[in-house]
Structure 1
Amino acid sequence: MEICDQCDCTLSEDTEEAKGVRSVNLRCHEGSLTWLNPYGAVRLRLSLGYPGDFEACFMIETANVMVKVSEEDSNSHRYVNTRSPYARYSNNDVMLKPLMTTSGKSKEYCLKSDTDIWLYLEPERTQTVQGLPIAVIYFDIERKYNVLMEDPLEECRPCDDKEILHSYCASDFVVVGSMTDVTHNLESGKSEINVAVSQIIRQRHGEQHFKRLKREASTLQGVITAPSKCGIVRGPGTFLFTGRFRFGKPKLGCAPYLQDWHKILKKAKHSGTIECSDD
């Protein structure tokens, strides 16, 4: 088992004869795996690291090579990839469920599970492709709870006071602003919320997503994504937007009206239930 101690790791195949299978155990909840000159195959383990339900999302970006991605599934009997190098020493008992074959930049693909997810990646080359082959796999793992796993629309439910307080303290970004536009992309399954930001309370170090487009502008601009199934529409008013960064883009968490947030915060201060400083 090859261990990836860092969140961004690199594998390099030095020779064309390197046709074995390399297993990689990623210890981070987000990051990337760069596969240089890919041959053979890579078994990539995505894990929460502790018991519980989780969602693992990944994207792949390639140059001069196509990559076939499958999910190992010992409970499925769809087919066995007997041409795979891995099948030779697995007694053909590992089932591979095909997920995608991609070149260039793929869409975001998500899987939900309560056990480790093993992805199986194989390069597919053609004689017409020239240049150094490279594949970069970006991954993001997020804890989910049973109710969210069972009901896909649960993530569209408005946050309760406890969830808002936790999101305020634990989110990658916390900003005050208003909606200027909302667009829906049915192909990607995402909505893009254009936001005019009047105050940045927190923005994770290294991320500069909310920016001033013009020097004289009084607000910053940014785009926050949300599932299109939630049917978000542009509404008036000022909100406290919270959430986390996924693949470098802000993903919406809780978004109470600012006046409601002030009431929740005042109540939490009075009861001593706020988890962090609001300074």
Structure 2
Amino acid sequence: MFQNVIISISLLALCCAADQCNWTGSGFAAGVDSRIVLQVRLRCTEGSVRWVYPGQALRVVLEPNLSSARRSTICIKPYPSLGGVSVFIERAGELELLVGGGRPERQVFCFMAEGPHRPAIYVQASPLGDGSWARRPMGFRYELLSRKSAAPSNGVLQTSCRPCSDTELLMAICNSDFVVRGHINNVSHDSQRQTSLVKVSVTRVYWQRGGVFEQQVNLGVSSQLSPSWHGHIHTLMRCHVKPGDGEFLFTGSEHFGEAWLGCAPRYKDFLFVYYKARTEHQNSCDFPPD
């Protein structure tokens, strides 16, 4: 059955307008011809697909720019309203079920993009009992990751809890999605996902890929506005992160708008490692210590 579906894709696909990263469209075309498969091509390493009045099928081909061709793991995070839609991964002309027709139990789904073909995600909607299509928008967010990146599994980033070595720490400040300095205010736990959420007050943002850490303005005792930064970082519960005194250097990766903890030494310990490496000309990149 799936092979027939793919044949119909090549014959009846309609190309849909989209920007480089995101697509929003309607499934009303299915009312004209039930065999129609909407086809979308996206060229970014991350973005979103939003399907309004989903009808029949949607095929999303990911064609990242050549500079990102080394990225080979794809993760998608379904919207909560994705229930009633089946999501398949297209591999060499075959469809492999990724998400069933019910409400997704997992938050993130990842798979390897192997072979010479561009990765394609095939979404198939089913009509309601009265023959009509669901009116709520459905869709997902996607990310393409490099092989060396830690990919989320079941909505949880699989990382090691051991302390970073000096070499790993020096690489982290060069390659991480975020590098910030600050204090741990609070740590809360999610027993279902087996993760911890670290609330951080940030004294300096060196860089961040997205907007995970935000600036807020506080009214001081002298009635002057003083800006400050804050944010949340996810980690595994088994890492046993606890609130504590002292200033830390937080590094890590961002996935679907969430920060995930990588190396996080005390700032004074990082400075010792950094200055020692700089003296020995072993730094991988420059860092602006105070």
Q: TM-score, normalised by structure 1?
A: 0.72
* Structure 1 stretches of 4+ moved >6 Å: 128-131, 146-149
Rounded to whole Å, the distance in 2 between the matches of 1:159 and 1:180 is: 22
In the alignment of these two chains, the number of paired residues is 255
Does structure 1 residue 197 correspond to structure 2 residue 207? Answer: no
Alignment of 1:34-49 (within 5 A): 34-45=50-61
3-state SS of paired residue (1:156): coil
Structure 1 29/261 Cα, relative in aligned 2: closer, same or farther at 3 Å? same
CA deviation profile, 1:30-79 (whole Å, cap 9, x unmatched):
11122233212123345785356x443222226597322234467xxxxx
Cα contact 1:46–1:56 (8 A) shared by 2: no
Following the alignment from structure 1 to structure 2, what is the Cα–Cα distance between the partners of residues 61 and 265?
A: 42
1:214 CA drift (Å): 4.2
Q: Does 1:158 align with 2:163?
A: yes
SS at match of 1:162: helix
Distance 1:187 1:213, change over 3 A: farther
Q: In the alignment, residue 108 of structure 2 is paired with which amino acid?
A: Y
Aligned residue runs from structure 1 range 169-208, under 5 A: 169-204=174-209, 207=211
Supply the distance in 2 between the matched residues of 1:243 and 1:6 (Cα, whole angstroms). Answer: 26
Query: What does residue 110 of structure 1 align with?
Result: 109
Counterpart-to-counterpart distance in 2, 1:51 and 1:187: 34
Q: Which structure ranks higher in relative contact order (CA pairs < 8 Å, sequence separation ≥ 6)? A: 1
Q: Provide the aligned C-alpha RMSD in A.
A: 3.8
Unaligned runs of 5+ in 2: 1-9, 221-225
Alignment of 1:1-279 (within 5 A): 6-15=20-29, 16-19=31-34, 20-45=36-61, 50-51=69-70, 54-61=72-79, 66-72=84-90, 94-101=94-101, 107-113=106-112, 115=114, 117-126=119-128, 132-145=135-148, 155-204=160-209, 207=211, 209-212=213-216, 214-216=218-220, 220-228=229-237, 230-236=238-244, 237-270=246-279, 271=281, 273-278=283-288
Which consecutive residues of structure 1, in runs of 5 or more, have no partner in the other structure?
75-89
Which region of structure 1 is more displaced relative to structure 2, 56-65 or 184-193? 56-65
* Partners of 2:70 and 2:146 within 8 A in 1: no
Secondary structure (helix, strand or coil) at the match of 1:168 reads helix
Task: Give the TM-score normalised by the residue count of structure 2.
Answer: 0.70
Contact 1:47 1:141 in 2 (8 A): no
Secondary structure at 2:213 match in 1: coil
Counterpart code for 1:171: S
Aligned-pair identity (%): 25
Q: 1:192 offset after TM fit, Å? A: 0.9
**Cα distance between partner residues in 1 of 2:113 and 2:50:** 26
